[in-house]
Amino acid sequence: MLSFSYGNGKKLTLSIISVLTLSLFFSCGQSSGGYGVVLLSPDQNSLPNTTVVEITDRSDLRESYTVTPVDGDGRYEIDTWRIEFFKKRSEARQRAEEYGEYLNIWARNLRDGLAIRESPDSSAKRVYRMRPGQEIKILELVKEDEISGQPGNWYRVLTKDGTEGYSFDYYLQIFDITAKPEEQEGPDLSEIKEALQRDYRPESFEEMVENERIRLDRFSTDYGFFPDLEKQEIEIRMHDRRFTFQYDSIKRTRDSRYLFMPDELEVVLRGKDKIQTIFTDEDQQRDYSFIYIEDEEIEDIRQGETERREALFQDLLEKGPRYTGSAYGSISFQEDNKFLWQDFQRLVPTVIPNPNYREGRVSFDHFLAPSLKEDYQGVLALRYSLAPNEPILFLYSLENERLRLEYVPPQNVDERVVTERSGTPLIMAFSRDD
């Protein structure tokens, strides 16, 4: 007599019944009658999965059936949960044929606590909580579905300790148990592994280049999507936050979509040079896209933007460097992007909040909306030494040694882009002071 035991204490027995055992079995059993299909056998050699059997007796005490293979010899005792019962032989045969497609198909759980549910619905009662790496038997595909935007399939499944139910496969790795170990890893991962051979940059880099609005504080090789295949680690660095993901497995959920477990980072390949990342952080879904740009190209673009800003300031120096107006004092520009504004009292406090503000540095790190480019050269950001992180912005134009400034209220600025003029514009005119 062979015995098999599993973690929940259920005794899983499969044996040819001796005369003595049969005598004991019948004393506590009852005639059952009917047929069944073996779902998960404890001994594939003696009674393989999907075998159609005739059920001759049932023991409630032992929670087992006595069965005889319809197309074979021998009598066996097997736990009831391992058999799907049918009244007719034809029904059992039909079901066995249906299960044949999934005879050797199993699934490996990739997520701690993944649920097996009472029915194929995400709101259905949970009947089982799976451990990471736990393997379960796939019985059949039930239906396609989408949960929280993630596509997948519901499968009817059976655990090795006797729980049957339904599980959504987004966090399951489906494999053929008869395949070689290296083939059990699932679909080919060469596409994603090739993509992970290089770093990627935030999609905003492409937008900055197209719109000619290069933010040097963000357009940098410091930011991007940085994979490390050797360490099995991915780092995402944005200008305002950073994330690090450790993974020990990759699952292809569908074409060009991959799930990195156990940290649940989804990577979608959007063509040769673009990827999308989706993950949850502090109960909030993050969705970042990245593009491939060579580091040398990034440095060239940064250099071009730096030279553009230097040229704008040099223009102010050469056509000035001191500009005087009849009502708003005088502004002097000096080397190293410095400025000095004198006699500006009429601008306090509506434009310049502090009468002690006098000198600081000029930067050209703000940009014009397309609708303003015809009338203005750019945006002057005056960063006073007493408040360098609170720039005061002016639209400006410089023609024939005449400098025109127009104050920009803070509410008219979005992500360093001046979107529109003030409804009541304050315009200041200055001329070169020889």
pTM: 0.70
Could you tell me which residue, 412 or 186, shows the higher pLDDT? 412
User: Which residue has 């063509």 as its token pair?
Assistant: 271
Using 50, 70 and 90 to split pLDDT, how confident is the model at 154? Answer: very high
Q: Nearest-CA neighbor of 37 among 27, 46, 47, 28?
A: 47
Task: List, for residues 230-266, the tens digit of each pLDDT value.
Answer: 999 999 999 999 999 999 989 888 788 999 988 889 9
Instruction: List C-alpha distances in Å: 329 to 27, 275, 326, 363, 386.
Output: 112, 53, 7, 21, 20
Task: List, for residues 348-367, the tens digit of each pLDDT value.
Answer: 999 999 999 999 999 999 99
Give the Cα separation of 225 and 276 in Å (integer). 10
Q: What is the rounded end-to-end Cα distance, in angstroms, of the chain?
A: 111
H-helix segments, 78-162: 89-100
Cβ(381)–Cβ(362) below 8 Å:
yes
Give the Cα separation of 365 and 303 in Å (integer). 14
Task: List, for residues 362-376, the tens digit of each pLDDT value.
Answer: 999 999 999 999 999
How are beta strands 233-237 and 224-228 bridged, if at all?
antiparallel
Q: What are phi and psi of 59, to 5 degrees?
A: -115, 115
Q: What are phi and psi of 6, to 5 degrees?
A: -130, 175
Cβ(33)–Cβ(55) below 8 Å:
yes
Strand partners, 144: 153
Return the structure tokens found at 371: 């609708």
Task: List, for residues 272-307, the tens digit of each pLDDT value.
Answer: 999 999 999 988 889 999 999 999 999 999 999 999
Q: Which run of H or of E encompasses 56? A: strand 52-59
Give the Cα separation of 304 and 322 in Å (integer). 27
Q: Which pLDDT score, from 0 to 100, does residue 33 have?
A: 80
Is 60 exceeded by the pLDDT of residue 30? no
Residues comprising the chain, all counted? 434
Task: List, for residues 405-426, the tens digit of each pLDDT value.
Answer: 999 999 999 999 999 999 999 9
Q: Which pLDDT score, from 0 to 100, does residue 15 have?
A: 45
